[in-house]
Structure 1
Amino acid sequence: MAITRFAPYRDVVSLQNRLNSLFQDFNQSQAGTDPVVAAAFVPPVDVYEDEHKVVLKLEVPGLKREEIDIQLDNHTLTVRGERKFEKEEKQENFHRIERRYGSFYRSFTLPNTLNTEQVKADYDAGVLRVEVEKRAEAKPRQIKVEVGSAAPRVENQPAA
């Protein structure tokens, strides 16, 4: 059995270091150094693929199609937008505000197996769907195996 020295303040120092790290990350995000952390909200995304394409579905309800910016640069797909808080002229007494407002930024690195010239985007019912086609060489191929088409091989015959 190993003997461990008792350090009563070890946990307190660890907690202080973690809190300092948290506040340092928060201060950096407020300065605008990291656009992902500085974003007001991060829309959830589903990414899946089939044999012909890769599909990304982002939930961005409450936005108009014109408020979404999609860019593809050097195999990096970037989706940006902003959901604005709508103020009315009359004074309202909010009891709770749970929806997130502000700008968002999502970036995805696409593999080289995708054809970045074949990208489609569709926006319906608050869901942005981006499809990127696979290159022909990346798609699976069916190879047909012929039965009995090869000539029978005979052993121990001298070469002619």
Structure 2
Amino acid sequence: MTLPVHHRPGRLLDRPFPALRWDEPVADFDELFERMNRFLQAVGTAPAAGSWSPLADLQETDDVYIVEAELPGIKREDIDVEVGDRELSITGECEERGREGVLRRSTRRTRRFEYRALLPADVKAEEITATLADGVLTVTVPKAQAAKPHHVEITQA
């Protein structure tokens, strides 16, 4: 004896799933990448159209913010670091090398790159330092000193 199957609307199995394109697995990643870019542009931290964002860490200590961005193979003169309105911006260009023969596969990023980070406190823009060593750009951004509370002596008039 068979029993009827009861379906409740709105259950996970009743929802349509997008068709997976097994013949083009990279297309799924490209679509995900584009969706993330649209989201990041909506919140104001995405790279500009046609550019890519390097991998980076943002660390905060008591006195400074430290950004370490991976920029392998990029020359110092091709990188620009700016700070303004509490935003750190690392931009530049990575040119594609001239090659002989046919390039069969490439996973290296070329063209314009851009990294932006919002800094939550005022900084000392004139004391920012940046160094490039072993393909890692390290930007040190000192925090502005907030007024520290101190005891005020009351004197007799």
Same fold (TM over 0.5): yes
Q: Is the 8 A contact 1:78 1:106 kept in 2?
A: yes
Structure 1 stretches of 4+ with a deviation exceeding 3 A read: 5-10
Assess, with a 3 A threshold, how the Cα gap between structure 1 residues 38 and 73 changes in structure 2: closer, same or farther: same
5+ unaligned residues in a row in structure 2: which ranges? 1-5, 20-27, 39-43, 151-157
Give the match's secondary structure for 2:107. Answer: coil
> Which of 52, 56, 76 is the equivalent residue of 1:41?
52
Q: 1:107 Cα deviation (Å)? A: 1.0
**Deviation, structure 1 residue 59:** 0.6
- Output the CA distance in 2 between the equivalents of 1:80 and 1:97: 22
Deviation, structure 1 residue 72? 1.4
Q: Is the 8 A contact 2:48 2:114 kept in 1?
A: no
Structure-2 residue corresponding to 1:84: 95
- Extract unaligned runs of 5+ from structure 1: 144-160
- Asked if the contact 1:70/1:78 (under 8 Å) is kept, the reply is yes
Number of residue-to-residue matches in the alignment = 126
CA root-mean-square deviation: 3.5
User: Are the counterparts in 2 of residues 82 and 103 from structure 1 also a CA contact under 8 Å?
Assistant: yes
1:123 equivalent to 2:132? Answer yes
Q: Is the 8 A contact 2:51 2:112 kept in 1?
A: yes
TM-score when scaled to structure 2?
A: 0.63
